[in-house]
Amino acid sequence: MVLETASLWIKPGEQAAFEQAFAKAQRLLAGLDGYISHELQHSLEHAHFYLLLIEWRALEDHTLRFCKSNELLRWRELLQDFMAEPPQIEHFQPVRLPR
Amino acid sequence: MVLETASLWIKPGEQAAFEQAFAKAQRLLAGLDGYISHELQHSLEHAHFYLLLIEWRALEDHTLRFCKSNELLRWRELLQDFMAEPPQIEHFQPVRLPR
């Protein structure tokens, strides 16, 4: 399992419209091969900052399949006008440690 | 519920020792009032970068209770020597959207 984090700085004053657009955009994720779950998180310190967390089965489900899909084109259509800067994307794997 | 993210850049070559120390440090979290869960995630793009995700019942459980506790002193004793720079901390609340 791989965690994608997308750091999203949106344009000032656009929070409500961005969240409405995201409610539509997130439906694109549900049908994707390798998609497991997602959460949109809103910063308590910075009103225009969101963190999108997406769990994928494997890295390639995001970097190959989603990034070359028609769903990504539609995703961008819905969301890119709200971005103050390009999203910063990073991928992680959980560290398995004894509790 | 509040999500704390701690971005941790550790010193090159220290991954294994850091993960061992973290396995001890995480035991300090379990007994804290307001602590819900945590995950340590390791970047696939940057070998020395980790993301620690901690769920708290409320912001103050982290910023007041934990940050003024003896557990934080012990936490720092265990982990701070591995840090290449001070951790970057941010807090989030989940955005509730219709699916």
Confidence at residue B64, expressed as pLDDT on a 0 to 100 scale: 84
Confidence at residue B99, expressed as pLDDT on a 0 to 100 scale: 63
Confidence at residue A83, expressed as pLDDT on a 0 to 100 scale: 97
Where is pLDDT greater, at A82 or B65? A82
Whether residue A94 and residue B50 make contact (CB cut-off 8 A), yes or no, is no
pLDDT of B57 > 70? The answer is: yes
CATH topology of domain A2-84: Alpha-Beta Plaits (3.30.70)
B42, exposed or middle or buried, with CB in 10 Å at 0-12, 13-18, 19+?
Answer: buried
Complex-level ipTM: 0.91
Confidence at residue B68, expressed as pLDDT on a 0 to 100 scale: 85
Whether residue B94 and residue A39 make contact (CB cut-off 8 A), yes or no, is yes
Q: What is the DSSP letter of A13?
A: T
In this predicted model, what pLDDT tens digit does every residue of A11-50 receive, in sequence order?
999 999 999 999 999 999 988 989 999 999 999 999 999 9
Going by pLDDT thresholds of 50, 70 and 90, the confidence category of residue A99 is low
Q: Which residues of B touch A99 (CB under 8 A)?
A: 26-27, 30
B41, exposed or middle or buried, with CB in 10 Å at 0-12, 13-18, 19+?
Answer: buried
Query: To which residue do tokens 């959980």 refer?
Result: A94
Closest CB to A92 among B26, B42, B90: B42
Tell me the two tokens of residue A10. 């949106």
**Nearest CA distance, A17 vs chain B (angstrom):** 12
Give the residue-averaged pLDDT of B71-85.
Answer: 95
Tell me the two tokens of residue B39. 């995950």
pLDDT of A10 > 80? The answer is: yes
Whether residue A97 and residue B51 make contact (CB cut-off 8 A), yes or no, is no
Whether residue A45 and residue B3 make contact (CB cut-off 8 A), yes or no, is no
Give the residue-averaged pLDDT of B49-68.
Answer: 92
> Average pLDDT of chain A?
94
- Of the listed ranges A18-22, A49-53, B94-98, the least confidently predicted one is B94-98
